[in-house]
Chains A and B, each alone.
Chain A
Amino acid sequence: MRKPRKVIVVGGGLGGLWAALRVAEAGHQVQIFSLFEVKRSHSVCAQGGINACFDSKGERDTIWQHIVDTLKGGAYLANQPPVKSMCEDAPGLIQTFERMGVTFSRTAEGLLDLRLFGGVKHRRTLFAGASTGQQLLYGVDQEIRRQESLGRLQKFEWWEFLSLGLNQQGVCQGIIAMNLRTMEIKAFPSDAVMLASGGMGQVYGHRSTNSTNSTGAAACRVYQQGAWFANTEFFQFHPTAMLGDDKTRLMSEAARGEGGRIWVPRDAQEQRRPNQIPEQDRFYFLEEWYPSYGNTVPRDLASRAIWEVVNKLGLGVAGEAKVYLDLTHLNPGFIEQRLHAILDIYRKFHGTDPVHEPMEIYPSAHYAMGGLWVDFERDDTTGGIKHGSPRNHATNIPGLYACGECDYGYHGANRLGANSLLSASYSGRVAGESVANYLQGLQQGHPDSDDPIYSSEINHQQELNRQLINNQGEENPYQLHRELGELMSSQVGVVRDNQTLSNAIESLRTLQQRSRNIDLQERNSWSNQGLAYARQLQEMIRLGEVIAVSALHRDECRGAHYKPEFELKLPENASAGDPAYETYRNQWKAQNQNWLKTTIAKQTDWGPQIDYQAVDLSVLAPEEPRDYR
């Protein structure tokens, strides 16, 4: 065996920890960098569950159906071999979690329990109460702690990733990071880097369900060093988030999977309390519009339906942007056991009890389907990915890998609920194995930390800090972030049009200018949170531009990206075989000819440059349009 190599993992959520674990198990030295203690990563916020086909409910669920649901749910935009492999490997992954000590909920018979989730007809979602992400992360966190105690792995918590160390050939050989206490900037050489920095929901500011550290800044930094973004215009709005001035808190899709119903009063002038409104005066719009899937349609459809009911029909509760998510008809003991964690959040933050009174919810920015472009290698004999190939999860920068929410794989144009914990874990595992094999092929190791490839980058980063610290501007970074959130959610949100998007891009460029004119208001150079924040803010604005420009270029409706101007409407009262439906199918196929392709965004001095790449459709040809009615 060759000598052990060193790998840096940036981010300690599910994806990062899984990758770190597999690299450490392969015998290489791992360093995990995180902005905070890894146990507090955003993965803990995932509530409802993780998908894997166990077919233990007598419903004849199949892995193939999981593949089909995922691909169709994503409007065929995902490369298919990785999705196929992910669904096939999902049950084994669950059992590995189980071995790690994850407390999956059980049936009366002691089996792994399953619940229903959106965009599917079969119960396929494993869960641990309504805190599944927390339980999964803790499971891997424990294994990481064990690796740490064995000396195979080191954590650098309270360090912020700033940039990559790239050699003359453009190969990634380590990172530059900032200590968030001393604010010292230092180089950490390594033989490969795994970016697992999570989502970018904070681009939508306080109008997001994401944790405050989910800024996407790390991904945006490697983008500026040449890594490609893919499909960033596809941003998921979760239909059911609590309203809030500081954050919109997620109310899991599990609430609907367990029987929760969404409705508004039929009369916009309705004055009664929800519990006093009789059935006939309630508009269960998802059930009426989508009788077949009802409340568990995929998220993009549910969010748009809510948007329409509120903004087009003017039926928001009390004239405001909110609708009811109702659990009051369900058995209180049952939902308490299955959904305790979210009921508890709602009670604590809203003050009313969802067991007795419907919750008030509205769609909110939740998950980036897009992210850093990553490669895969197809195995022609299985149709899935070639396991162990060093191409899997490699970015276009040699030596830089990405996994978890910060990459773009698996979800296409819309992610199905409970597929994110699966993709985060699975991609971490695959990417870890991939890196281990990349290291096997490396002829020489990284240079020492005093090499010019690092020192020049350190100087550059110190200069960026100095500019911000010495700047006596008049802009307030926190205020700018609020403005960014308002701008993105109102102009690059659930419903889009080209004029608004063009305006948004202009506004984002103005915001970017203003973000260089910041007053940090902070003299203390120890644990200077304002400095780190201001730097992240600039990245978020840049990311906002990548999202908006990608959205502007795509003239169609697909999954979460919805431009009514280019909408192909499903013919009413028609199904497959009817002439009207077949005409629609043909139009839909023609649209796929033009637009069923991956958006690639590359950084240039003039902003993002947009290119396209073919999607690998080798598993399931796009013959069936999405139809959840």
Chain B
Amino acid sequence: MSEKIQFRIRRQDTPYSPAYWQTFQVPFREGLNVVSALMMIRQNPLTTDGMKVDPVAWEFNCMEEVCGACTMLINHRPMPACSTLVDTLQQPITLEPLSKFPVIRDLMVDRSRMFADLKRVRAWIEIDGAWDIHQGAPRISPEHWRDNYLYSRCMSCGSCLEACPQYGQMLPFVGAAALAAVRLMNNHPTGKYHRKQRLHAIMVEGGLSDCGNAQNCVQVCPKEIPLTTAIGELGRETTVQMLKDLFGSAD
């Protein structure tokens, strides 16, 4: 088959240099995904104008949609490039770096803020130490497990933040990913002990109340994590916490 696929790629040489566009062509094959196409381009970086250029830089690792590295804007929508097959896309296929994070080079961005925000909301369980305590695990109902498991698959890809109108480089909102982490940690049997601190961490500027309820996050999450459900639950919890704070409840 001699069918060719066209890619329009937004390029940027360094964080401070201007962006520009280049078009590349790769031969189509059955099951071709965006990362494989980028690999072909990298092996022979020739634009459709016949110009030999530097290979396109992008981030990828697992190639099976579980590491979260290769998320980029594909036809203006945040998607994992590895699991996006080209025959599902309109051509020419436009590739751009996520716009809510600083560009490193070409399609690579700096998502370190996502990890900083996980710190900010204290997304961990405070254990005494990583040693054996010779005690069995607490019982958890299968239903409770299923709810939590949905959230534990967040791979910090940044899609939800990209789609969120309230999230941006100049805006303080932590966004859905960190909020969902709060939801997950607060529902753990001992994670509950620090529920209040986590709720307080999202009851400040840039916290939960900055959510504009656009509901874009849940639509773009590649793992179909019920982000808006988490945000809804946290809304109720923070309200209760606020009342407790006001009236000085023991908890």
Contact = CB atoms under 8 A, between A and B. Distances in A.
Interface of A: 18, 21-22, 25, 36-37, 39-42, 44-45, 89, 92-96, 98-112, 128-129, 131, 134-135, 138, 140, 142-143, 145-146, 148-149, 157, 181, 211-213, 244-247, 249-250, 337, 341, 344-345, 348-351, 429, 476, 478-479, 521-524, 526-527, 529-530
23 contacts: A36-B61, A37-B115, A40-B155, A40-B156, A44-B62, A93-B132, A94-B137, A99-B127, A102-B152, A105-B145, A107-B142, A112-B137, A142-B118, A142-B125, A181-B104, A212-B63, A245-B31, A247-B64, A348-B85, A479-B43, A521-B54, A524-B14, A526-B14
A109 B144 CA distance: 12
Contact of A244 (B31, B115, B137, B152): B31
B137 A40 contact: no
Contacts of A129: 149, 153
Interface string B7-48: 000000110000000000000010101011001001111000
Interface stretch (B185-193, B210-218, B234-242): B185-193
Contact of A211 (B63, B85, B139, B155): B63
B64 A527 contact: no
Nearest to B69: A40
Interface of B: 13-14, 29, 31, 33, 35-36, 39, 42-45, 52, 54-55, 57, 59-69, 83, 85, 104-105, 108, 111-112, 115, 118-119, 122-127, 129-142, 144-146, 148-149, 152-153, 155-156, 184-185, 188, 190-191
Given A105-B145, A128-B149, A244-B31, A143 B130 contact: yes
A42 B14 CA distance: 28
Nearest to B151: A103
Contacts of B185: 101
Contacts of A22: 130
A45 B156 contact: no
A110 B139 contact: yes
Contacts of A111: 139
B55 A522 contact: yes
B145 A106 contact: yes
A18 B61 CA distance: 21
B126 A146 contact: yes
Nearest to B146: A337
A476 B14 CA distance: 24
B142 A108 contact: yes
Contact of A524 (B52, B54, B138): B54
B133 A44 contact: no
A99 B190 CA distance: 8
A211 B69 CA distance: 11
Best-buried of A39, A95, A128 by chain B (most CB within 10 Å): A39
Contacts of B36: 245-246
Nearest to B131: A96
A158 to B, nearest CB: 9
B134 A92 contact: yes
Best-buried of A99, A112, A249 by chain B (most CB within 10 Å): A99
A279 B161 CA distance: 50
B148 to A, nearest CB: 5
Nearest to A107: B142
Given A95-B132, A101-B125, A211 B67 contact: yes
Nearest to A91: B132
Contacts of A108: 142
A345 B83 CA distance: 8
A345 B126 contact: no
Contacts of B65: 344-345, 348
B152 A39 contact: no
Nearest to A140: B130
Closest 6 CB pairs of A and B: A92-B132, A110-B139, A142-B124, A246-B36, A478-B43, A40-B67
A26 to B, nearest CB: 10
A145 B124 CA distance: 8
Contacts of A107: 142
Nearest to B39: A246
Contacts of B64: 45, 247, 249-250, 345, 349
A247 B146 CA distance: 30
Nearest to A142: B124
Contacts of A105: 145, 149
Given A108-B142, A145-B118, 4 more contacts: A39-B156, A42-B67, A211-B62, A212-B60
A349 B124 contact: no
B33 A349 contact: yes
Contact of A527 (B57, B148, B190): B57
A512 to B, nearest CB: 20
A168 B184 CA distance: 51
Given A39-B68, A106-B141, A247 B31 contact: no
Contacts of A149: 119, 122
A134 B153 contact: yes
Given A95-B136, A523-B54, A478 B129 contact: no
Nearest to A106: B145
A68 B152 CA distance: 34
Contacts of A476: 43-44
A246 B137 contact: no
Contacts of A112: 137
A428 B40 CA distance: 37
Contacts of A526: 13-14, 105
Contact of B55 (A134, A341, A529): A529
A100 B188 CA distance: 9
Given A105-B145, A522-B55, A527 B126 contact: no
Given A249-B64, A250-B64, A350 B130 contact: no
Contacts of B139: 106, 109-111
B4 to A, nearest CB: 17
Nearest to B38: A246
Contacts of A21: 130
Given A96-B132, A104-B137, A131 B153 contact: yes
B127 A143 contact: yes
Contacts of B112: 37, 157
A247 B54 contact: no
A351 to B, nearest CB: 7
Contacts of B31: 244-245, 349-351
B221 to A, nearest CB: 13
